[in-house]
Amino acid sequence: MRRTVLVAAVAFVLGGFAQQAQAERQPRMRDAMAHLEKALSALQNASPDKGGHRVKALALTEQAISEVREGIKHDNRN
């Protein structure tokens, strides 16, 4: 009986660790996504008179966001 309780307790604790590890997957990629989203917002709110460079930066930032999302999806599948 004691052994069953001990095994159940260990399984519960390990299950919690596994769930936490799953929830914290790819923290750097998620940080990068947050930074890119802030950059995108800043670019969208910047004045438009930048000789086309702001527009290009907007497109590249959107592309970077898409690539980070795809990277996260790829890692989650593998």
For every one of its 78 residues, what pLDDT tens digit does the chain have, with 9 covering 90 and above? 556 555 555 566 566 555 445 556 899 999 999 999 999 999 999 999 899 999 999 999 999 999 999 999 998 887
How far apart, in whole angstroms, are the C-alpha atoms of residue 69 and residue 30? 9
Nearest to 72 by CA among 29, 18, 37, 38: 29
Q: At what angle do helices 53-77 and 27-45 cross, to 10 degrees?
A: 160
- What are the structure tokens assigned to 69, written together? 């999302």
Where b means 16+ CB within 10 Å and e means fewer, 29-63 reads eeebbeebeeebeebeeeeeeeeeeeeebeeebee
